[in-house]
Structures are given as C-alpha cells and as structure tokens.
C-alpha cells in the first residue's frame, strides 16, 4: 500500500509539473502573439480589439485543457488507491505557513490583467482532497466566472510546491480529508 501511495505521489508530482509548463507555454504564446498584434496595430481599433479577444479566448482554452488533463490524470491515479475510511477528524488540515500566506501566494500566482477583470474582492470556494501524506487531488474552484475560476485553479497548481498542506488528524494520526476554503482574492495591480 505504501509503495502504491508513493508511486501515485510521484506520478501526480511529475504530471502536475508538466501541466504547470503547459500554463507557462500558454502564457508565452499569448505574450508573443499579443506583442505581434500590437506591432501590427499600434493604435486601438476594431480589428485589434477583435484579435485581442480571440487571443484571450485561446489562452483561456489552453488553461482549461491543461486543467482537464490534470483532472483526468488525477482520476486515474486516485482510482488505483483504495479510499480510506474517514474517521472523526480532531484537527483540520492546514497550510504550513497559515491561510493568509496561502491566500497571498495564490493571489500573486493569478494574473488576470489581460482579461481586464476588476471585481474586487472576488469570492471563491476552493475545494480539494488532501490525503494522509499531504498529496492533493480533485482541485475545484467555484466562483461567479468560469474563466476566472480556471485561472485561479491554474494558479493553485503553480503554487502547489511553494508550501505543504498538513493533513487533518484523527486522534493524532494523519488522515485524508476534503479541504473547503472560502477565499476572497484581489486582482487590482
């Protein structure tokens, strides 16, 4: 069982790292194309606005595709691991440096300037499964805008390795749990 859990953790780490590079590729592709567009159309006009929107939609689509791949891979890996019996939790899961630190990392990892999105604060509910080893599965973000939610979820994967989540405990022993965090993020730069 331990070997299987260790293998699952290694696969998730390798796959999520690969997906972070997918986010970076999408960002790089967007930046390269937007610079080219601004050279072609230095002054705002209808055609530039149309092309900006098409590039924005392509970036959103690339992020959503990467998140879908992560979700599919997590489902495959989680299917191989037998679900634990969830005992009564005596201590909730927590981020090692605190919720405020986690929220700050997440806020910094999400760049929505290209969307001209200025709803402050943006309220979300971040939900994921945290196993007894501190591995994270099934990340979901719920808020009022699906596109923004996708970028926040991608931001979560980007900061996933900046700190550790301590698993919930039952009578002093780490156990799997579902972490449900209501957060307010600010996107003004």
Any idea of the CA torsion for 78, 128, 151, 109, to the nearest 10 degrees?
-110
Question: How confident is the model over 50-63, as pLDDT tens digits?
Answer: 999 899 899 889 98
Report CA 52 to chain centroid distance, whole Å. 24
CA distances from 115 to 19, 59, 71, 104, 110 (A): 22, 10, 24, 20, 11
Q: What is the pLDDT of residue 37?
A: 92
Provide the number of structural domains found in the chain. 1
- Residue in this structure with the two tokens 């260790």, named with its chain if needed: 6
Give the other-Cβ count within 10 Å of 103's Cβ: 17
* Residues above pLDDT 90, as percent of the chain: 30
Question: How confident is the model over 73-114, as pLDDT tens digits?
Answer: 877 776 655 555 566 888 899 999 998 899 889 888 887 777
Residue 121's domain comprises 4-185
Instruction: Write out the two tokens for 121.
Output: 């604060």
pTM, entire model: 0.74
Instruction: Report the distance separating Cα 99 and Cα 60, nearest Å.
Output: 27
């Amino acid at each position: 069982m331990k070997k299987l859990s260790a293998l699952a953790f290694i696969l998730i780490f390798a796959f999520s790292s690969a997906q972070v590079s997918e986010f970076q590729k999408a960002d790089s592709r967007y930046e390269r194309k937007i610079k080219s567009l601004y050279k072609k159309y230095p002054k705002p006009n209808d055609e530039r606005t149309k092309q900006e929107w098409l590039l924005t939609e392509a970036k959103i689509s690339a992020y959503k595709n990467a998140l879908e791949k992560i979700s599919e891979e997590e489902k495959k890996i989680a299917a191989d691991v037998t679900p634990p019996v969830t005992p009564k939790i005596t201590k909730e899961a927590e981020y090692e440096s605190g919720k405020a630190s986690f929220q700050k990392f997440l806020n910094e990892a999400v760049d929505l300037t290209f969307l001209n999105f200025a709803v402050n604060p943006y309220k979300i509910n971040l939900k994921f499964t945290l196993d007894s080893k501190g591995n994270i599965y099934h990340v979901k973000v719920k808020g009022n805008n699906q596109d923004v939610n996708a970028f926040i979820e991608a931001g979560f994967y980007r900061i996933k390795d900046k700190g550790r989540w301590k698993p919930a405990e039952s009578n002093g022993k780490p156990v799997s749990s579902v972490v449900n965090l209501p957060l307010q993020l600010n996107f003004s730069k």
